[in-house]
Structures are given as C-alpha cells and as structure tokens.
Structure 1
Amino acid sequence: MNPYKYNKQVWKIVLLFFAAMIGIASLLYTNYLVKNLSTSERTKAEVWAMSTRSIMTMPDVDDDFISFIYAVRDSLSLPAIITDSKGNIIFWRGLDSTKTNIKEEEHNEGVVYDPDYFQKQLHIMKGMHPPIMLDLDTGESWFVYYKDSSALQQLRIFPYIQLSLIAIFLTIAYTVFNSIKKSEQNLVWVGMAKEAAHQLGTPISSLMGWIELIRLKYDAENDDVVNEMERDVERLEIVADRFSKIGSTPSLSNHNVYRVVNDFINYFKIRTSDKIAFFLEGDKHVEAMLNVPLFDWIIENLLKNAVNAIGTEGTIKVLITENIAKEEIFIDISDTGKGIPRSNFETIFQPGFTTRKRGWGLGLSLTMRMVSYHKGQIFVKESEIGKGTTFRIILKSNLKYEPTQV
C-alpha cells in the first residue's frame, strides 16, 4: 500500500465528511426556519385577505372599527393580489408602483395600469403558494395569491451560498495545507540529501586512499579488479555530488544525449546479470541542456526499475529520437518485464509507492523531480502485464533554460 496515497485519501475523506455534516446541518436548520417563516407569512396573508374583504364588503361598520381593519390590512408587507372566481384582479398590494401606476402624459388620461406586469406577477404567485380562498356572503369566492417576503427568499438560497463558501474555504484550506506539506517535505528532502552527501564524503576519500595503497603495495597499477573498484568509488563520489546539489541551482550545459546515455549504460550493464541484454539505438547527434550527474541519476533509476521488473532474463532497449518540429528529444526506455497496470500509470511517480517488499518508493518520484530540473517530462508511454513497459522522457533540444532550484 502506498502510505502517501493512503494518507492523502484519509485527509480527503475527513474533509469531505465534515463538509457534508456542515452542509446537511445547515440545510436542515435552514429548512426548519423557512418552514416556520413560511407558515407565519401565510397567516399574515390570510389576515390581510380577511381584513381587505371586511373593508370592501362592510361599508357601514363603525369608523373606529374600520380604522382598526385598515391598520391590520396595512401591516402586511407581502406582495399580494386578490382575484375573483373568473381571475379578474380586484385588489393588490406591495407591487412595483411604477408598473401599477403609470401616467400617460401625452393623452393626459390619468392613471392606467400595466396588465402584462399584473399577469406576470400573478403567474409567479400562483407558482409559489396555493391560493387562500375567501367565501363572500353573495356566494362568490375570492382568491388571494401572495409572494414570499424578500427575507424568506434570501433565506431559501442562503444554505446554497453557505455551502459554496464552505466548499471554497475547504478548497483553499486543502490547497494551503498541501502546499505547506510539500514545502516541509522539500525541506526534509534537502536536509537529508545534504547530510547524506556530507556523511559520504569521509569514507569515499578513505576508499580512494586505500585503493592507491593497494596499487602501490601489490604493484596493481593496471589490475582490472582494482580499476573497477576505483570506478565504483568514483561513482560514489558522483552520487554524493548529486545529493549535495539538492536545494541548489543545477548547472546545465549542452551535451550529446546519445553519448551521455551510452557512457552510463556501459558502466551499468557490467554490474548486472549477463542474461539481461542492453540495446541503445536512435539519433546519435541530438543535443540537449543537461546536468550529467543528475541526468545519469534519471537513467540509473529507470534502468534499475527495468532490471527489477525483468528479474532473471530479458531485454532493455533505449531509443533516442528527435521531434524536429517541436524541438523535442524523446528517450524511450523499454523492458521485457512484468509490466504495470494502467491504473498505476500516474501513481507510480508518487512518493512512497512501491510494489517491492523492501522498496522505499522514492526512485520514480526522484526521477520525475530530476526530469523537471531539466524542464522535461516523464510518463509511462505504454505497458502490458507480462510483456513489459516503456517509459518516455521528453527533453527540449538546444534551448537555453532558466535556472531552477534542485
């Protein structure tokens, strides 16, 4: 199991869980408030309707009582319309006065009304609530339609605004947290790498001294074994130099890509099984801006992965081609190993991902990092279970690069 991916998934699930709980609680409570407020507004609309009926159907009532009825009626702030049984508008309140009170100055015909506006508002009200029916003494019926107050309308959409803000907040929080985590990881990488380079310095110097003593004591100036030992110690020096460059700005210079890859393969293949064949093909003249120790690290990690995937016997092929139109160099490293499931094409580059029991899962993560220092890309071009895998590195050819911190 990839602990990096597992921890990331756990954090996502936790954040989503809390977001869902907040969202559900907000929706439930807001729905409760909306329901109560809606009931209250309907009661107000019913009181207004009855008071309006009293005013219009009981003209001989005492003036004080009429004043009271008017006060009750005018206390309603909801937009409302009363129609008869045929749908004719009898009375209204709370509508736009510029639409219900239009004066035609050209013909000086006084006050006229905008029927389209009334019908539109009536249609909206019918869609919001069932009408309040008022039975008259004449046997006729009036129907009262009303709209929600602006406060209730805002309250209905408030939870969605709130959920949107919560989602934005969680996104920002997760992004910031992830950025801080990556920054801390980078600091740990840099510290560990430089400390490793420092610790390797002393034993490497001692080994170089011991090799020279062996040559002098046993007259082994041209001994093949001693020469290979020296090459391995020099390789250790290169490894220490790689780690010392972490956190600093790498120096990139123009190199022949084929030659650099060929030199490393020649070093690497004699340290692996004779049953694994290496082939290097392609354009021998393409050039790119490289930091050779770091680029060797890229090739080394990919070749080691290929050897581990193959096991005992197989083939590793490196093909170098150039896309002249896009000024790109393709380096394809193919093996005849066990292959990679398509679902892991992206995951294998994450820190901690490994299929080996004793692996740390850092090789391909470091490889991607090194490729990015060269302003390039790396990905799984193709893979088939039981048949092998091809990794592709894309580099820019003959371009000047801005320096980037390792």
Structure 2
Amino acid sequence: MSLTPYQYNQQRWKFALLIFAALIAGASLLYTNYLVRNLSKSERTKAEVWAMSTRAILTMPDVDDEMITFIYSVRDSLSLPAIIADAQDSIIYWRDLDSTKTNILEDTTESTMYDPGYFHRQLAIMKRSHMPIIINLPHGGQWYVYYKDSLLLTQLRIFPYVQLTLIAIFLGIAYTVFNAIRKSEQNLVWVGMAKEAAHQLGTPISSLMAWLELVRAKFDAENDSLLYEMENDVKRLEVVADRFSKIGSAPVLKSQAVYKVVVDFVNYFKVRTSDRIVINVSGDTKAEAMLNVPLFDWVLENLLKNAANAIESAGRIDIVISENIAKEQIFIDISDTGKGIPKTKFDAVFQPGFTTRKRGWGLGLSLTKRMIEYHRGHIFVKESEIDRGTTFRIVLPSSQTYEPAQI
C-alpha cells in the first residue's frame, strides 16, 4: 500500500501528537509518584511520632501535667489510621478507624466491646501496606505499630490515572467533533468542485455532439461505426458530468432489472478494454433492485477497471447475478483471474488512499463502497488467492424488500 502525501503528513502529525501526549502522561505520573513518595515518608514520620507519644503517655506516669498535656496535643494532632498490637497480634490501641465498628471510646485498654473481625481485617491490610514501627517497652517486650495510607495519599495515588482517563475521554470527544467538522468542510469543498467541474464540462460536451453531427452530414457517414463509438464516448462524458453535478444530492432510485443494467455497461466497457480479457455475464435475468443507473454504472466501472488492471496479460472476468432463497437479496459476484489480494488487506482495500498502483489515488473502491451504501447494500471481498484471482460480492436488497433510509 502506498500513501498519498496528504496521508503521509497526516500520519506524521498523528505520530508526533501521540508522542507529545505520551510525554505529558509520563511527566504527570513521574511527578505524582514523586509527591506520593514524599507524602509516604511524611506519614511514616507521623506514625512514629504517634507511637512514641502513646508510649510516653503509658510508660511515663511521673511526667508533669504540662508535659502530659503537650504529649497529648502532639498525639491528637496526628491523623492517620493505625493500630498498636503486641507480638501475638492482640490489638492494644487504634486510631482513625471506623467508629461504627466499636461502642467504646478510642484509646482505651478495654478490648471486649469492639468487632474483632473488623479490626483484624484492618490489621492484615496494614501489615501488607507498610513495615511495622517497633516500640521497645521499658520492662521488656515490644509493641508493633501498624498503619495504612491516609485517604489523601490513596486518592493521590490514583489521581493521575483518573486525570489521564478524563483527558483521554475529552481528547477523544474533541477529536471526533473536530474531525467531523473537518470532514464536513472537506465534503462541502469537494461537492463545490464536483459541481463546478460538471458545469465546465457541459459546454465542450455539447460542442462535441454538434461536431459529430456535422461530420456525419459532411461525409455522409450516418452509419459509420467509428462515429457511433465516438458518440457513445461523448454520451459517456455526459453521464460522468451528470454524476458530478449530482454529488451531494440524494440519488433517485428506480426498480431495474440488474442483469440488463450490468449487460448494458459490460457491452460499453468491452470495446474499451483489452481484447485479451474475456468478460462474461450470467445468472438470474429477472432479479430487480432499486438502482440509480449512472451511479451503479460507476460502481461497475471501478470494479471492472480494477479487475482488468489486476490481470497482467490475458484473463477472464466473470459476473454472476443471483438471488437468495427468500428472494430478499440480490448477489452480484465479480471474479477475475488477476494477481489477488492478501487476506490481511480485505478490509483495507475500501479505505481512502489504499492503492497498489504507483499513480493511483486509492479512491475507487472507497467511492464504490459509498455508492453501494447509497443503494442500501454492501460490498466485500468474498474470496481471493494470490496469483489466482479475486471475487468481490455486492449485496443489494431486492425491489420487493427495499426500505429507504429514514431521514
């Protein structure tokens, strides 16, 4: 697949923006982790101070009242979920846990009224969170201070991920909106250019028709086959100009015999392609679908040109028309004996800009898909094999089951 310069530049900008977004995300995560580490150190210091102050209150009964008041004020100013336990995990004191789980005051030696399950679950969480702070008691033995992160620190840990998620959602919505606006503006430009091209083609096409009539009259060549084919080409130019003039307008669909529409176009196309390529049409001659013939001819033109280009020398193109058992859908299979398409490219061939030709724009199959969708149908690569050929399938609703799009 070769990219147009516009697509190449577009991919470069997308890649650059992606790298810029990744740098912002990385910087945000690094700075948040830096803050988390510092706050985590600060909270451990708080836990150590709380443990020391609690130990001082319990083990220093001879301290004067002023010092006791100071120690209490220091201890009570530190807010952090914590538990003091002995070596057997018997809970001695706790702080800033769920007060609804106990009917007794915090910091009391009584332990018969609290919910043991809740406190031991909290102890298990704290053990997993941080290494304990060890307090050596004056008369032997040790206490272990366990604590967990404060609500602020917990929220700070997840904040960058929430922030980046919200930013990603916002950017996604903004990209979708601006992309839709840009496409709408581009469509208006293309529609204007198409209509102007159709207008500019009108005068020379009319002149060519007049010149053909003059040539017939001057050289008495009313039944000349060359002039007949030239007239067909001029009429074809009229059809092309009419297509461009109707771009942007809802197509008018009428019930048509699919077989006849296909055969009429193939008869025109055969004369203008290599005589080493055999084109055969077969299948159901009575199946009818709602078609806009100029647009559907454009579909056939794109598919047959692609098939002819895929055949390097001599080959065959088969078009088979059929209906399903319920006669609700019409299938048009267009098969060639060309170079084939890799399975990984079955969907990519319908994307704008996809082409295997050096000078191609990559718009033919994209336009084909869009025109088939105008007809409430769809198109896909039915099967393909490298150096063996490709089959495209068009699926159209029959005239009896056709349902126009709701506006």
Shorter-chain TM-score tier:
over 0.9
Match of 1:79 in 2: 81
8 Å Cα contact 1:275-1:312 kept in structure 2: yes
Deviations 1:98-135 (A, max 9, x none): 112269xxxxxx98211111111111111111110001
Q: 1:396 to 1:279 in 2, by over 3 A?
A: same
Deviations 1:137-195 (A, max 9, x none): 11111111112111111001111111211221232233223323322332232122111
Q: Which amino acid aligns with 1:54?
A: A
Match of 2:145 in 1: 144
Match of 2:23 in 1: 21
8 Å Cα contact 2:327-2:398 kept in structure 1: no
Q: Which moved more, 1:175-184 or 1:67-76?
A: 175-184
Matched, 1:60 2:56: no
Match of 1:51 in 2: 53
3-state DSSP of counterpart to 2:352: coil
Distance 1:326 1:188 in 2: 41
Match of 1:106 in 2: none
Match of 2:34 in 1: 32
Deviation at 1:45, TM superposition (A): 0.8
Distance 2:285 2:271 in 1: 22
Distance 1:155 1:50 in 2: 27
Give the length in aligned residue pairs.
Answer: 399
5+ residue gaps, structure 2: 106-110
8 Å Cα contact 1:204-1:236 kept in structure 2: yes
Distance 1:209 1:380 in 2: 43
Match of 2:312 in 1: 311
Q: Which amino acid aligns with 1:178?
A: N
Match of 1:107 in 2: none
Q: Which amino acid aligns with 1:266?
A: N
Deviation at 1:359, TM superposition (A): 2.1
8 Å Cα contact 1:251-1:403 kept in structure 2: no
Distance 2:367 2:356 in 1: 16
3-state DSSP of counterpart to 1:359: coil
Q: 1:7 to 1:319 in 2, by over 3 A?
A: farther
8 Å Cα contact 1:242-1:293 kept in structure 2: yes
Distance 2:186 2:326 in 1: 38
Match of 2:119 in 1: 118
Deviations 1:39-70 (A, max 9, x none): 11111111111000010111121011111111
8 Å Cα contact 2:351-2:366 kept in structure 1: yes
8 Å Cα contact 2:332-2:395 kept in structure 1: yes
Q: Which amino acid aligns with 1:244?
A: S
Q: Give the TM-score, by structure 1 length.
A: 0.93
Deviation at 1:8, TM superposition (A): 4.7
8 Å Cα contact 1:249-1:403 kept in structure 2: no
Deviations 1:297-333 (A, max 9, x none): 0001111111111133110100111124482111111
Deviations 1:246-304 (A, max 9, x none): 01111011111111001110111022222111111111111111000000000011111
Q: Give the TM-score, by structure 2 length.
A: 0.93
Match of 2:176 in 1: 175
Q: 1:102 to 1:287 in 2, by over 3 A?
A: farther
RMSD: 2.0
Q: How does 1:281-360 map to 2 (within 5 A)?
A: 281-325=282-326, 327-360=328-361
8 Å Cα contact 1:317-1:334 kept in structure 2: yes
Deviations 1:196-231 (A, max 9, x none): 111110011001101111121112222222222111
Q: Which moved more, 1:44-53 or 1:166-175?
A: 166-175
3-state DSSP of counterpart to 1:32: helix
8 Å Cα contact 1:314-1:335 kept in structure 2: yes
Match of 2:208 in 1: 207
Match of 2:108 in 1: none
